[in-house]
Amino acid sequence: MKASIPVAGLGALLLAAGAVGCGAEQSPEMTPAAAVAKAAKNTDDITSVRYRLSGTSPESGKVKGDASMRLKPTIAMSMKMTGPVDGAAETVEIRLVDKAMYLGGGAEMAKEMDGKTWLKFDLSGSDAGKELDRSGSASQAEQNPAAESTFLTSAKDVKKVGTEKVEGVETTHYTGTFTLADLRASLKGKNASIRENREKSIKQYEKMGVEKFTMDTWIDGDDHTKQFRMKGAADKGPLDMTITFLDYNKPVNVTAPPAKDVADLADLFKELDAS
């Protein structure tokens, strides 16, 4: 194996991955805050989601991607993302399955990895997995966009913008602002799972240096979030990310890449130490 390991650029794309129905309009008697809260409550029963993301990340610049994610009984995810790596647009595939993360860099990675097109990070306690987790990339890749869609409930100024179609679906558009302090305050009284998910997000946004957010949410007639957009000013540039949900609760099957195409980062570290 060559000593050069193309991890840094791919890690930046990972940081961008997190930072994600049809029917009639909601009842006119429902206040904006109540409509947003109802949609947030409906995320509790989501078992899987397919979504599209696009926008600007402070670490990665302009990115876009498509993903399928299983939330229950265990987390699994498959995503293809395009963003700048070393000044050029690159597409990578990310898979999370069986407590491991796989990064597929295609031909460019194969040049550096003796023909291997996938890089494996063991997330079950290995040194390589711990290093990835310290960078925030693992937590960001595992981030549940359905959970982040609930953040508008933290805002005290939620208002209705109007009705709009998103992906051909009639939705009601709401907007509001909140801070990380508001997000923390919203954890009171929540169950352990919700607190854990929101704490992960809060820590990631702290690392970015984002303190205040503007959020827009589009809610369909079945009281599900169809789309949300989060904007904020970070230390290293603007955050402006839109997540559009394409479907909920459909089967999501993610498999590990063929072993012959995978280089394990733990093994590469051992080789580098021995050289």
Which burial class, exposed, middle or buried, applies to 217 when counting CB atoms under 10 A from its CB (0-12, 13-18, 19+)? buried
Query: What is the full DSSP assignment across 253-269?
Result: ---PPPGGGEEEHHHHH
The CA distance from 121 to 263, in Å, is: 9
| pLDDT confidence bin for 273, thresholds 50/70/90 | low
Res 160: pLDDT: 97
pLDDT at position 103 over 50: yes
β 262-264/118-122 pair status: parallel
Res 147: pLDDT: 86
Res 275: pLDDT: 54
Q: Is-cis flag, bond preceding 238, omega within 30?
A: no
Res 226: pLDDT: 97
Res 274: pLDDT: 54
| Element at 145 (helix H, strand E) | helix 145-148
Q: How far is CA 11 from CA 15, 102, 121, 128, 177, in A?
A: 6, 12, 12, 13, 29
Res 140: pLDDT: 52
pLDDT at position 138 over 80: no
Backbone angles phi, psi at 184, to 5 degrees: -65, -40
Q: Where are the domains of the chain?
A: 8-20+22-274
- 253 compared with 7, residue with greater pLDDT: 253
Query: What is the full DSSP assignment across 185-243?
Result: HTTTT--HHHHHHHHHHHHHHHHHT--EEEEEEEEETTS-EEEEEEEEEETTEEEEEEE
pLDDT at position 9 over 80: no
| Radius of gyration, CA atoms only, the chain | 19
Res 6: pLDDT: 46
Q: Which two structure tokens, joined as six digits, stand for 155?
A: 């805002």
| pLDDT confidence bin for 236, thresholds 50/70/90 | confident
**Closest listed residue to residue 51, CA positions, set 263, 191, 246:** 246
The CA distance from 231 to 151, in Å, is: 12
Res 114: pLDDT: 81
Res 252: pLDDT: 93
User: Per-residue pLDDT tens for 143-184?
Assistant: 778 889 999 999 999 999 999 999 999 999 999 999 999 999
pLDDT at position 63 over 80: yes
pLDDT at position 52 over 90: yes
SS3 54: strand
User: Per-residue pLDDT tens for 111-121?
Assistant: 777 888 998 98
Res 203: pLDDT: 84
pTM of the model: 0.80
User: Per-residue pLDDT tens for 10-51?
Assistant: 455 555 554 433 333 444 568 999 999 999 999 888 999 999
Burial 66-93 (b: 16+ CB within 10 A, else e): bbbbbbeeebbbbbebbbbbeeeebbbb
CATH entry 2.50.20.20 includes domain 8-20+22-274: yes
